[in-house]
Structure 1
């Protein structure tokens, strides 16, 4: 009996799959995208950083601004989504067809850029009866124009409300794979959670865990939709925000459902952008990103080039501070000293995961980590995260 239970738990909760989670997803409307968008966003963000350097320096507690500026010039966007939903709106079929063709061409070009986003894709319209035909046609046209499924491609499906919709997505992905002659499991998707029915279903259950199971390993992440969700909960427009208690509850449910499944959780966006009152907007975004990181949401939406400045600044700060705390505790754990804190294997796993994230996002380099403690190599960190035996070679 218990062997069967063990097998079921291993299947449903395999843990991290080795992918490196991006720190953000940049959403760009389909009528504004080009292969130059990442560079253009990076240049606009750099200009904003330089213009408000003194104010940003006040927020910078870890002297990260020079590294942030270098990141904005070199590789500003880690994950990009071309938006055919709310950011694009409803257009004629001819107009969206042309936009889909352009999007596919852009994605194919991005896949060839060494300094471009690591992952990218589109957000389709939803699966409701009035939209799904358009959503499927757009996805098909994008893949046709891209020449198939580029490495790193994922499509985001908004307004998921029922687990059965996920089964339909799996069937859709299987059909595309057969049509393009691709290996099974090549086409992956993200579920955008922006409806209360996705958090608590009509029968009182929490359906997200079921959705992840029905996805058959194809669900890459859960993305939170701040404004649709809070509006559906009856929150007035001035109070709709990432840090509203209703949003916090939904994200906590998403986080618990996705824990140890290998599915990422991505926080939502803020509609406040650094245009009319740039310094206030930058401070607000820095605060929200920092708040999300402390709650374990390591990825979030960015809707404006200016968001890149405070996204990277808050992320670098968070992981530099966390690494400074985690490294001595990990060293003490490996040497079986207390260091003032008696850490257990689960805590060592979490500490190692934090340091790995800091290296993967660029807040710290592997060489800097080696300077702090030569014994704490990337191999050792990976072994701690997976709770595998630590070899002498690691």
Structure 2
């Protein structure tokens, strides 16, 4: 019988050649390109101008205030006499199947009662106004509001809150951009807020135990050098306050942040410039479309220029451990009953649209938008959770009689179910019908495999 030794030797030498040539690429395959978002990502960011939370409008319980306003708007919907009836009716009117409308409505109410806002940004940028404040007093006014914002955030993050407070799980500030005209003011606000958070060791403890909870948003980035500079600034602040590495978000609102001046894809350079600190890229609906000359009446989260930008951002962030968020709609559900319903219909459709495109987060600007943010999100995850649980259970058991799913699909199903549970769309008992534990679901989300573990056990 002819020996296979020469072929084995050849294969060994070919393998050694490939190992040598692909060492750098292999590091990326095993590391940077193998880091999906497997932690909890907020379903939205609520944007609250600083003047609506500080000063005379001081409201550290803003999440509860907004949640109550959302529940009141829902209760007033149509002719429904009870909150549950109103929620069921609205779910049906927005296209939720009849057999699911009551459940979706009930889960939406529960979400608004327990966690109406998942992520909140106190805004010192475009939303921040100082009407009535003399120009000579505006720096002092913003300084005072920044210090108060730090107090509010410190209370949320340290657990010092009243019995009625429903603090967001994620929170922070959006400060002014690195545009030369406003850069110094933005950095001054940032320093005041971080200094306030550092008091009592709150910032240090937060960064050590839950660094993703703090969200600092750098807006209107146009070039990766701005991100490089911000990393250097944060390093100096970390030394000053003796705290671990501070992460941040980047808001993409300019065409230069999509295609660089040299024609290259700028998002990948932005992420590289962040040196592992960037938590998320957020698309800015109105600044971006306006900068491309889109008329105000046509500006939208679903305009073709918006889809192109988000497609590029989605490719850049895929599997590198960076979240992606859609923008906002400025059509607010207020006014008559018909006007509120029209606003809810639009918002519901836009939220559902970006979820279907695998963009898991968006921005909300008004309390009434919380109704359709959570209703649309819960309805989306309720629609396929049972089938996903059944398919995953068969996959783990090795049953291919109905579905021939592969590891990549198993990853997607596990991630879907974990997100469904985190947003309140699926209960603990329903998640347990997968037949695997939450820890195993997280392993499946990363690897797509559990069979070897099951055989060993």
Instruction: Output the TM-score relative to the length of structure 1.
Output: 0.95
Moved over 6 A (4+): none
Deviates more, 1:327-336 or 1:106-115: 106-115
Cα distance, 1:320 vs structure 2: 1.2
Q: How many residues align?
A: 390
SS in 2 for 1:13: helix
- Name 1:386's counterpart in structure 2: 446
> Paired residue for 1:142?
193
SS state of the match for residue 276, structure 2? coil
Identify the residue that residue 323 of structure 1 maps to in structure 2.
385
How far 1:89 moved relative to its partner?
3.9
Equivalent pair of 1:13/1:260 in contact (CA under 8 Å): yes
- Tell me if the contact between 1:329 and 1:339 (Cα under 8 Å) persists in the aligned partners: no
Match of 2:346 among 284, 307, 310: 284
Once residues 377 and 205 of structure 1 are traced to their aligned partners in structure 2, the CA distance between those partners, rounded to angstroms, is 43
Q: Distance in 1 between matches of 2:299 and 2:401?
A: 44
Of 198, 207, 215, 2:266 maps to 207
In 2: Cα distance, 1:13 partner to 1:178 partner: 30
What's the C-alpha RMSD, in Å, of the aligned pairs?
A: 1.8
- Aligned pairs for 1:91-170 (under 5 A) are 92-111=138-157, 112=159, 113=161, 115-146=166-197, 147=199, 149=203, 151=206, 152-170=213-231
Unpaired runs of at least 5, structure 2: 1-20, 54-58, 78-85, 207-212
The Cα of 1:67 is off from its aligned counterpart by 1.4
User: Which string of whole-angstrom CA distances, capped at 9 and with x for unpartnered residues, describes residues 150-200 of structure 1?
Assistant: 7321210110110111101111111111111012x2x11100001011111
Q: Is the partner of 1:305 in helix, strand or coil?
A: coil
Indicate if the aligned counterparts of 1:191 and 1:223 stay in contact, CA closer than 8 A: yes
1:359 corresponds in structure 2 to: 421
Secondary structure at 2:225's aligned position in 1?
helix
> What does the per-residue CA deviation read over 1:316-359, in whole Å, with 9 as the maximum and x for residues that have no partner?
11111121221122122122233543211111111111111111
What CA distance in whole angstroms lies between the structure 1 residues aligned with 2:194 and 2:265? 33
Matched-pair contact (CA < 8 Å) for 2:36–2:318: no
Q: Deviations over 1:5-53 (max 9, x none)?
A: 2113334224136421010000000011121101100000000111112
The alpha carbon displacement at 1:74 in A equals 1.4
* Whole-angstrom CA distance in 2 between matches of 1:64 and 1:326: 18
Equivalent position of 2:314 in the other structure = 255
Matches within 5 A, 1:4-23: 4-16=24-36, 18-23=38-43
The answer to whether the 8 Å contact 1:124/1:135 transfers is: yes
In 1: Cα distance, 2:38 partner to 2:353 partner: 25
Distance apart, 1:102 and its partner CA: 1.1
Q: Equivalents in 2 of 1:313, 1:241: separation in Å? A: 21
Mapped partners of 2:23, 2:190: distance in 1: 42
Confirm or deny that 1:72 pairs with 2:112. Answer: yes
Match of 1:58? 93
Higher helix proportion, which one? 2
Q: Would the aligned equivalents of 1:356 and 1:381 in 2 still touch at CA under 8 Å?
A: yes
2:233 aligns with one of 172, 195, 202: 172
CA contact (8 A) 2:411 2:444 kept: yes
Q: Deviations over 1:55-97 (max 9, x none)?
A: 3442243231111112111111111100011110467111111
Matched, 1:47 2:84: no
Match of 2:368 in 1: 306
Residue in structure 1 matched with residue 9 of structure 2 by the alignment: none
Contact 1:41-1:76 at 8 Å conserved across structures: yes
State which drifts further: 104-113 or 284-293.
104-113
- 2:23 is paired with a residue whose SS is helix
Deviates more, 1:84-93 or 1:235-244: 84-93
Q: Distance in 2 between matches of 1:204 and 1:8?
A: 24
Alignment deviations for residues 288-342 of structure 1 (CA, whole Å, 9 cap, x no partner): 1000100011111010001110000011111111212211221221222335432
Q: Is the 8 A contact 2:64 2:166 kept in 1?
A: no
Partner SS, residue 368 of structure 2: helix
Structure-2 separation of matches of 1:248 and 1:104:
35
Give, in whole Å, the separation in 1 of the partners of 2:29 and 2:60.
43
